[in-house]
Amino acid sequence: MNLNIDFFKAILSATLWSSVFLAYVLYRKREAPGAIYLFLLMILSVNWTGAILLQLVADSGMKRAIGLAISDVCVTVSPSIFLAFVFDFLGNKKRLKWQFFLKLNILPVLALLVSFIPSAREAWWGGYVATPSGGVSFSSYLLLYWLWTFYLYAIFLASFILLIKGLTAFATYFKKQISIFIVASVFPLFFNLPYSFHLNGFPPIDLTPVGFLITVCILIFGIYSFHVFDIIPVAKEKVLETINDAVIVIDKYSRVVMYNKAFRNYFNLGESKLIGRYLDHISSSLGSEIASLDQSKSDQCREFVFQDKTFELCIKPLYRDRLTSKGKMIVLHDITPRKKMEEQLHLSNLHLQEQLLINERMIDDLKAFSYTVAHNLKTPVNNIVGFSELMVSKVNEGKFDPQWANLILNSGLKVSQIIDGLLLFSSISVKEVLSEPVDMGQVVEEALKRNEREIAEKKVSVRKPEKWPVAMGYAPWIEEVWANLISNAIKYGGEPPVLSFGFERNDTGSMVFYLQDNGDGISKDQIDQLFIPFNSLNTNKDIDSHGLGLSIVKRIISKQKGRVWAVSENIPGKGSRFCFTLSEKN
pLDDT score of 69:
83
Q: Which CATH superfamily is domain 432-586 in?
A: Histidine kinase-like ATPase, C-terminal domain (3.30.565.10)
The residue-averaged pLDDT of 325-334 equals 84
pLDDT greater than 50 at residue 253 = yes
pLDDT greater than 70 at residue 200 = no
When mean pLDDT is compared across 129-133, 334-338, 469-473, the lowest value belongs to 129-133
Binning pLDDT at 50, 70 and 90, where does residue 461 land? very high
The residue-averaged pLDDT of 470-491 equals 90
The residue-averaged pLDDT of 62-87 equals 84
pLDDT greater than 60 at residue 360 = yes
pLDDT score of 541:
41
pLDDT greater than 80 at residue 66 = yes
pLDDT greater than 50 at residue 338 = yes
Average of per-residue pLDDT values in the chain: 77
pLDDT score of 252:
79
pLDDT greater than 60 at residue 492 = yes
What gap in Å lies between CA 250 and CA 171, rounded to an integer? 19
First to last CA, the chain: 109
pLDDT greater than 90 at residue 510 = no
Binning pLDDT at 50, 70 and 90, where does residue 579 land? very high
The residue-averaged pLDDT of 84-98 equals 77
pLDDT score of 576:
92
Binning pLDDT at 50, 70 and 90, where does residue 148 land? confident
**7 class by beta-carbon count within 10 Å (0-12 exposed, 13-18 middle, 19+ buried):** exposed
pLDDT greater than 90 at residue 516 = yes
Q: Other C-beta atoms within 10 Å of 135: how many?
A: 22
When mean pLDDT is compared across 152-161, 225-234, 313-322, the lowest value belongs to 225-234
| Range ranked top by mean pLDDT from 209-218, 272-281, 291-300 | 272-281
pLDDT greater than 90 at residue 485 = yes
CA dist 192 → 14, 197, 199 (Å):
18, 9, 11
The residue-averaged pLDDT of 423-450 equals 80
pLDDT greater than 90 at residue 501 = yes
pLDDT score of 322:
63
The residue-averaged pLDDT of 546-574 equals 83
- Check residues 320 and 450 and name the one with the higher pLDDT: 450
Sheet of 246-251: strands edge to edge? 256-259, 246-251, 325-334, 309-319, 300-306
The residue-averaged pLDDT of 477-489 equals 90
For residue 313, give the amino acid letter: L
CA dist 522 → 273, 359, 512, 528, 561 (Å):
79, 31, 21, 10, 26
CB 50, CB 16: distance < 8 Å: yes
pLDDT greater than 80 at residue 462 = yes
Q: Which CATH superfamily is domain 243-334 in?
A: PAS domain (3.30.450.20)
- Check residues 585 and 337 and name the one with the higher pLDDT: 337
CA dist 205 → 10, 69, 122, 133, 214 (Å):
14, 14, 21, 8, 17
When mean pLDDT is compared across 48-57, 108-117, 419-428, 510-519, the lowest value belongs to 419-428
CB 552, CB 428: distance < 8 Å: yes
The residue-averaged pLDDT of 16-26 equals 82
- DSSP lists the bridge partners of residue 323 as none
- DSSP lists the bridge partners of residue 253 as none
H-helix or E-strand spanning residue 513: strand 510-516
pLDDT greater than 80 at residue 185 = no
Domain spans of the chain?
3-230, 243-334, 432-586
The residue-averaged pLDDT of 84-101 equals 78
The residue-averaged pLDDT of 120-136 equals 58
pLDDT score of 545:
47
Candidates 288, 287, 281, 228; CA nearest to 258 is 228
pLDDT score of 433:
72
Binning pLDDT at 50, 70 and 90, where does residue 537 land? very low
- Check residues 230 and 445 and name the one with the higher pLDDT: 445
Three-state DSSP at 580 gives: strand
pLDDT greater than 70 at residue 539 = no
pLDDT score of 175:
63
When mean pLDDT is compared across 59-68, 367-376, 415-424, the lowest value belongs to 367-376
What gap in Å lies between CA 442 and CA 404, rounded to an integer? 38
pLDDT score of 310:
87
High-pLDDT (> 90) share of the chain, %: 11
pTM reported for the whole predicted model: 0.43
> Judging by DSSP bridges, how do beta strands 461-463 and 498-505 pair with one another?
parallel
- Match domain 3-230 to its CATH number in 1.20.1440.230, 3.30.365.10, 1.20.1070.10, 1.10.10.60: 1.20.1070.10
High-pLDDT (> 70) share of the chain, %: 72
